[in-house]
Structure 1
Amino acid sequence: MKHSSHYALSHVTESFLLMGTTVTFQVVGHKPIHDIQKSIQRALTAMTAVEQICSRFDESSALNQLCQQPGKKVAVSPILFHVLRMSCELASITNGVFDPTVGSQLEQLGFNQHYLTGQIVHAHPQSYDEGASYRDITLFEDDLSVCLNKPMQLDLGGIAKGLAIDLAAKELAEYEGFAINAGGDIYVFGIDPQGDAWTIGIENPLSPHALIGTVQVTNMAICTSGSYKRKSPRNPLVHHLYNPLTAQVATGLLSCTVMAPLAVVADSHATAAFLLGPQDGLTFLTDMGFAGLFITEHMERLLTPLMPIKEYLP
C-alpha cells in the first residue's frame, strides 16, 4: 500500500496527558504543519470533552452528577447517553460480566484515586445498593434521559476512552494518515509516514516496554485490556478488571487485544472478553466476528481466526 505524490508529506507528532494516560497523535498530510497542529488541538478538545462528561474521578462530571440523583429521570448529553446505551447492550450480551455499575466496588478495591493526579474521589452517593446492576438503568431514547433506579456509582472506564479516540479521529479524517495512541488503545487511518499501512506493536504483558508481536493494518482500532495496566494503590496484586458476577477481579488472562473498525467497540469488547476469561472470551470474540489475541497467565497465546499477527517476537 505505497502512497505516491509529487509533494512532500508533513509528519507531526504531539503528546498530551489525558484520561489518566499519555495520548499521542501522529498525523501525516499535505497541509502546513501549523494547520495540522490546529487539527490536533481540535482532536484533543474532542477527547477532553468525553473525559469531562464520563470521568468517575471528576466530582463535577456529568457522570457523577447523574449518580447523585438516583430515582430521578435526568436529561444527559448525547455522549453520555450513547456510552451508557452501549455499556448496557454489552452488559446484556455478556449476562452482566461487563457491567457499568461497578464503580463502588472499584472504589472499595482502592481505585478511588485519579490515575495521574492521585486525587481521592469523593463524588459517590452516600449509600450504594449492593444488588445494583445494569438492569437498574433505564434509558429514555426519545429525550436522551436516564434513570438510575437504585443508588449506584457508574464506571465507564472500559468504554469511554474508545469513544474519545473515535471522536478525535473524526477531527483528523481529512489527512492522508494518522495514528492516535491513548495508553496502548490505538486507532490508525490511511498511511504512515513512509506511505505504508501502520505497523502496531502488541505489548508483552510481563514486560510492557517489550512487544509480543506486530500487526500491519489501517483504518482500524486495536485496544488492549490487561491485568498489568492498572494496579490498586492498596494491593499490587489487585487489578482494575472486576467481574461483578464473581465479586472478584478476573483471572486466567494477562491481556486481551481486540481489533475492530471503531475504538469504542475494540475497547469495550477487549474488556468484556478479558472478564469472560480465556475460553469464553475466545468464543465471544469469534462469534462476534472480531480479531483478538489473548495472553494467558501462563503466557500462552490464543487467537481468534481473524487475528492477523504479522510476526511473533521472542
Structure 2
Amino acid sequence: MKNYISFLTLFLFVFSYAQKETYHIKNIKLNDEKSHYGVSYFKDGKVFFTSFLLDDKNKIRLTKEKIPVFSLFSGDMDAEGEISNVEPFKSSEIYEFNCSSASFSPDKKYIYITTNYVNKGDDYKKNNKIRNLRLERGEYVPGRGWVNFKTLPFCDDGYSYGHPAVSPDGAYLYFTANIPEARGPTDVFRVRILGGNEYSEIENIGREINSNRKDMFPFVSKDNILYFSSDRAGGYKGLDVYYCQILEDGTFSKPKLMPKPINSAEDDFGFMLLDDEKSGYFSSTRYGGQGEDDIYYFTKD
C-alpha cells in the first residue's frame, strides 16, 4: 500500500507539471548595482533577503582584508512583489563577517541562518583568517527580537554549511554542505529536527539529487516539492533551478529542469514559492540585471 501511495504521488506530480505553465518574471525595484539575493518569507507580508552591509557613509562595508560583508535585511512585500521599508536584520555592530540565507520554523519561533561572523569581543587578531560557513538557530522573544543564537551541533569547523531550508511540516532542515559525504563540491543534505536544538545524523539525500557538481540552495514547497540549484550537465548554463517530488517514503523523484524564464544562461538560484503557490522569488545574475545578483519576482498561470 505504501508503494502504491508513493507511485500515485509521483504520477500526480508528473501529471500536474505536464500541464504547460507560463511564468512571468520581473526585476524588482529593490535591485541596484549591489548584490541582492535569497528571499525568504516570514509572515504578515514580511520577507528577508541578503545584500551587502553598508557603513555610516552608505558604502559597502569591508573586512580588514577589504572583502565585502553580506548581511540579512527585512522588508515589506506588496501585492506586486515589490519590497520596501527595508531594515537591517540586526545591528551591524554585531557582525564582523557575513550573515545570510534565512529560513523559519513553521510557527515562526525560530530562525536558521548562514554565518561566519565573530563577535566584536573576540580576539580578532588571533582569529584573523577565512572562516568556514556554519548554520545557527535563533529564537524570537517578544520585546527583544531575535536572540539566543547557537551554532547547530552537527556543524564541523573544518567544513562549510549554508542555505538552510525548513520543511513546511517542520520535520526536516535541508541545507548545503561540502563535508566528505558530498559527491561534488557541495551537496544537499538534511537532518531531522528533534527539538531543543537537537538533530538526527546528517543524511545525504542521494544520488538522484546530488551530482558530481555543485548542488545547493534547497527549498521545500507546501506541496512537498524540493527545489534546488545545480550546475550539472544538461542545464542551460551556470546554476539552474531543478525540482523533484518528495515521495511518501522519503525518497525523491528524478529532478527536472525548470523552464525559461526561471532559468537562463547565467546563474539562477534561491527559488522559493510564496504561500499561494503561484508566485515567488528567485535570484539570478542574468543579462539585463541591475547588479551582480538580482532578485526577481514571478507569477505563474
Q: TM-score range by the shorter chain?
A: under 0.3
TM-score under structure 2 normalisation? 0.23
Compare the two structures and name the one with the higher helix fraction.
1
